[in-house]
Amino acid sequence: MVRRCSTSCWGARPPSSAELGAWPSLIPTFFLLLLIPGIGGAWEEPGWRGYALPTLQAGRSALLASLILGIVWAFWHLPLMLYGVIPWSDLALVTVQSVVFAWLFNNTAGSVLLVMLFHTMNNVISGGFFHAMFSGADWVRQGWLLVALWCAVAFIVAIVNGPEHLSRKHNRQTPTPPEGASVAPRVA
């Protein structure tokens, strides 16, 4: 006798045709989240990676600076966790994602635009598509699986590129004085 498994055998149900049919809507969702400040997260990046990361990297390794920023960035998402929009595992997820975002930022010589595009793509695919397929305990497990995946990626990025700069081509990005500004110390 062949036993047919229901969702109880696998723990998660297969995606419905309606969910799989949502793939074409990912492109307009991407542009909606990217272009409208406040709804998709991409507009956080001028502050996180454009300002805070270079400032933190000025006196620290890129890895340490990204982890410090990641912790602050994780707590920035606390209201979404309290409201139940994102799982509690996102405290860890956002922290390790910060390492990969710093790697991207440093490897593109400080391109905030590319980090904004990456942030939006992550939110659309992970948060808007796969996240919506799960609920209950499966939703929690999926969150922790994402943490494990991003930890592996962050670990590989740090090992391959080195923790000092998180880049093999460029130095870590630090604040630069405006052009024409004197770098000589002031005398009182």
Mean pLDDT, residues 152-167 taken together: 94
Cβ contact 34:113 at 8 Å: no
Q: Taking the CA atoms of the chain, what radius of gyration do you get in angstroms?
A: 20
Residue 170 in domain: no
Mean pLDDT, residues 136-146 taken together: 87
Average pLDDT, the chain: 80
Of 11-15, 50-54, 139-143, the range with the lowest mean pLDDT is 11-15
Mapping DSSP to helix (H, G, I), strand (E, B) and coil, where does residue 38 land?
A: coil
Q: What integer pLDDT is reported at residue 114 of this predicted model?
A: 92
Q: What integer pLDDT is reported at residue 135 of this predicted model?
A: 78
Q: What integer pLDDT is reported at residue 181 of this predicted model?
A: 52
The domain tally of the chain equals 1
Calpha distance 141→181 (Å, rounded): 52
Residue 86 in domain: yes
Residue 33 in domain: no
Mapping DSSP to helix (H, G, I), strand (E, B) and coil, where does residue 47 land?
A: helix
Mean pLDDT, residues 34-46 taken together: 72
- Residue 109 region by backbone torsions, left for phi larger than 0, else alpha for psi between -120 and 50, else beta: left
- Out of 25-29, 79-83, 158-162, the most confident range is 158-162
Residue 40 in domain: no
Residue 30 in domain: no
- Residue 38 region by backbone torsions, left for phi larger than 0, else alpha for psi between -120 and 50, else beta: left
| Domain membership of residue 118 as a residue range | 45-161
Q: What integer pLDDT is reported at residue 28 of this predicted model?
A: 64
Indicate whether 2 pLDDT > 50: no
Residue 15 in domain: no
Residue 32 in domain: no
Q: What integer pLDDT is reported at residue 152 of this predicted model?
A: 97
Percentage of the residues of the chain whose pLDDT score is greater than 70 = 70
pTM listed for this prediction? 0.76
Residue 184 in domain: no
Cβ contact 96:150 at 8 Å: yes
Q: What integer pLDDT is reported at residue 115 of this predicted model?
A: 93
Q: Indicate the pLDDT class of residue 140, thresholds 50, 70 and 90.
A: confident
Q: What integer pLDDT is reported at residue 172 of this predicted model?
A: 81
Mean pLDDT, residues 108-114 taken together: 91
